[in-house]
Amino acid sequence: MKKTLATRIFMSISLLTAILVSQQLNAQNTGVINTNLNVGATVLAQLKLTNNADVQFGNLSATTPGHVFLSPTGSSHTNTGVSTSVGKFTVEGSTTGSVKVTWPANIVLNSSVGGNTLIYNLQVNGNGSDLASGSTILGAGGLGVATTADITLVAGKYYLYVGGKVGGTAGSPANLNAQATGVYSGIANFRAEYN
């Protein structure tokens, strides 16, 4: 069969077209898919809970006209002794760390004499600044009920102030009524952990 120049050109073009199409489709079957995997972690500073002061109700009358209340704010105590002390803890950790603090709602104080006991219902206040008078009650239920609170450290610190009432029963404070004399003491365990 005789082929004209035009025919040859058309045939070449058609062949070239087929090759190009073929190569283009083949090209879709090789390649690389690239992805980056982020690995990360936030490391927090060690958490410290320091007991700066113990709770002291002072010398109490065996019978009181009202509740014996040691205010965590440091003032407006009622029926306490003259020499008192609000308990204090400092929580230290990461700059703006969120921390869960837990404590007992109440504890039993044991007398140094005999087997007498006294119930102590705790009230815990907190403040991002080291100022008891500006502290506010922590935890749901407040005095004698609350056992936990979430706090946020301010510049890596937070302050807890501890007061409450002695007398009555757990969760139900009452006046002292012919309480056996003696020195009463007990230990309340506080715990702090990052959320």
Q: Which residue ranges make up the site for another protein (CB under 8 A)?
A: 1, 3, 7, 10-11, 13-15, 17-19, 21-22, 25-26, 28-47, 94, 194-195
Closest to another protein by CB, 42 vs 83, is 42
Closest to another protein by CB, 90 vs 110, is 90
Closest CA to 79 of 64, 101, 94, 98: 64
Closest to another protein by CB, 171 vs 194, is 194
Where are the strands (E) in 77-138, listed by range? Answer: 87-92, 98-102, 106-111, 117-127, 136-137
What is the strand order of the sheet 148-152 is part of? 148-152, 98-102, 191-194
Calpha distance 184→105 (Å, rounded)? 18
Dihedral, CA of residue 60, residue 66, residue 71 and residue 76, to nearest 10: -100
Please report how close the Cβ of residue 2 comes to another protein at its closest, in angstroms.
9
Q: Which amino acid is at 40?
A: G
Closest to another protein by CB, 2 vs 189, is 2
Please report how close the Cβ of residue 92 comes to another protein at its closest, in angstroms.
12
Please report how close the Cβ of residue 191 comes to another protein at its closest, in angstroms.
14
Please report how close the Cβ of residue 153 comes to another protein at its closest, in angstroms.
12
Closest to another protein by CB, 38 vs 189, is 38
State whether residue 99 is helix, strand or coil: strand
Please report how close the Cβ of residue 101 comes to another protein at its closest, in angstroms.
15
Q: Residue 87 — φ and ψ, nearest 5°?
A: -70, 150
